[in-house]
């Protein structure tokens, strides 16, 4: 059973994970004991950043999901205790940020409960607030109905509203289609998204339309909009053969993204991505990015 953030995640992932920015090299290795070690270096905007991630080991009821150290000065760790009781998992997450990283330290305790028709999750960030994020999803046949709220107790002392978010969604998943409607931003935004996957993932088509009642846009500042406060993204991908998949996406502001993922060998994949601004096609505002991944 899916959690709230997973119901409409596939369409969002298409637009965010099918493409890359900057130039990245990733090396991933998996040991015989099931531990995965990933090293990554990225050059973007003239700045270099690196991080090392470790996932595992996994036992029958306990797993180390992530240990990450980044050059920007952050340390993250996530662990899960599975099956504490029937259907209940307990998670612990720690993030330690330095002054240079600009990240606040946090320590979260979470609980996830799931049955075939219902899931509920609660995360409590103890030092910041405390801040509580709680959500639930009901499933009936191929439809999903969910709600999520975020409560920050520290805002009460400031005389501000303690609820920073309350979101609702209705989703549908059947065959190769996943889509739905989400209302968020304290009821000020409506997002309609969907993705259709063809047989064996050979072809996919995705769409995402966001409407902000406050007139805010997710596009870059100064971008010319078809309708102010509305963001429209359309995308598609096609698997050419077992090694090559191509992607494309366009927004109503004239942003065109093209990408090709090519499996050069059994252990090497190259993702080549291009960002074009169709509203300024003659200007030097376009970019080409790469991500080279090695696995062993």
Helix (H) or strand (E) segment spanning residue 44:
strand 36-44
Q: Is residue 62 part of a domain?
A: no
Mean pLDDT score, 53-68: 90
Q: Of 259, 211, 260, 255, whose CA–CA distance to 234 is shortest?
A: 255
Q: Is residue 108 part of a domain?
A: no
Q: Is residue 93 part of a domain?
A: no
Q: Cα–Cα distances in Å, from 101 out to 3, 72, 149, 269? A: 30, 5, 28, 30
Range of the domain at 42: 4-51+131-295
pLDDT > 80? residue 100: no
* CA distance linking residue 122 with residue 136, whole number of Å: 9
Contact between 110 and 138 (Cβ < 8 Å): no
Q: Is residue 31 part of a domain?
A: yes
Q: What is the CA radius of gyration of the chain?
A: 21
What confidence score (pLDDT) does residue 101 get?
Answer: 57
- Report the chain's mean pLDDT, rounded to a whole number: 89
* CA distance linking residue 42 with residue 110, whole number of Å: 31
Mean pLDDT score, 214-233: 66
Total domain count for the chain? 1
Mean pLDDT score, 53-71: 91
pLDDT category at 73 given cuts 50, 70, 90 is confident
What confidence score (pLDDT) does residue 215 get?
Answer: 62
Q: Is residue 221 part of a domain?
A: yes
pLDDT category at 103 given cuts 50, 70, 90 is low
pLDDT > 80? residue 160: no
What confidence score (pLDDT) does residue 217 get?
Answer: 55
Q: Is residue 96 part of a domain?
A: no
The CATH number assigned to the domain holding 184 equals 2.40.160.10
- Beta carbons within 10 angstroms of residue 182's beta carbon: 22
What confidence score (pLDDT) does residue 26 get?
Answer: 97
Q: pLDDT tens, 262-276?
A: 999 999 999 999 999
What confidence score (pLDDT) does residue 255 get?
Answer: 92
Q: Is residue 98 part of a domain?
A: no
Q: Cα–Cα distances in Å, from 214 out to 28, 229, 254? A: 43, 7, 22
Question: For residues 80-96, b (16+ Cβ closer than 10 Å) or e, as one string?
Answer: beeeeeeeebebebebb
What confidence score (pLDDT) does residue 60 get?
Answer: 84
Q: Is residue 65 part of a domain?
A: no
pLDDT > 90? residue 161: no
- Beta carbons within 10 angstroms of residue 114's beta carbon: 16
């Amino acid at each position: 059973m899916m959690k709230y953030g997973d119901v409409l995640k596939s369409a969002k992932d298409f637009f965010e994970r099918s493409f890359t920015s900057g130039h990245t090299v990733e090396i991933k290795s998996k040991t015989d004991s099931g531990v995965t070690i990933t090293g990554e270096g990225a050059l973007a905007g003239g700045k270099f950043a690196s991080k090392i991630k470790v996932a595992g080991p996994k036992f029958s009821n306990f797993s180390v999901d992530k240990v990450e150290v980044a050059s920007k000065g952050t340390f993250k760790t996530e662990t899960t205790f599975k099956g504490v009781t029937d259907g209940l998992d307990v998670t612990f997450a720690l993030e330690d940020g330095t002054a240079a990283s600009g990240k606040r330290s946090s320590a979260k305790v979470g609980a996830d409960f799931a049955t075939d028709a219902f899931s509920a999750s609660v995360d409590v960030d103890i030092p910041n607030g405390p801040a509580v994020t709680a959500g639930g999803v009901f499933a009936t046949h191929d439809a999903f109905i969910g709600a999520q709220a975020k409560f920050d107790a520290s805002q009460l002392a400031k005389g501000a509203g303690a609820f920073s978010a309350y979101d609702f969604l209705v989703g549908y998943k059947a065959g190769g289609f996943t889509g739905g409607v989400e209302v968020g931003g304290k009821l000020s935004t409506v997002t309609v998204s969907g993705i259709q996957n063809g047989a064996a993932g050979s072809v996919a088509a995705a769409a995402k339309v966001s409407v902000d009642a406050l007139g805010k846009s997710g596009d870059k500042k100064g971008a010319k909009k078809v309708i102010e406060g509305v963001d429209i993204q359309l995308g598609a991908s096609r698997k050419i053969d077992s090694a090559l998949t191509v992607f494309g996406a366009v927004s109503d502001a004239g942003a065109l993204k093209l990408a090709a993922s090519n499996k050069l060998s059994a252990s090497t994949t190259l993702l080549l991505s291009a960002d074009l601004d169709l509203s300024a096609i003659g200007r030097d505002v376009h970019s080409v990015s790469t991500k080279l991944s090695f696995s062993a």
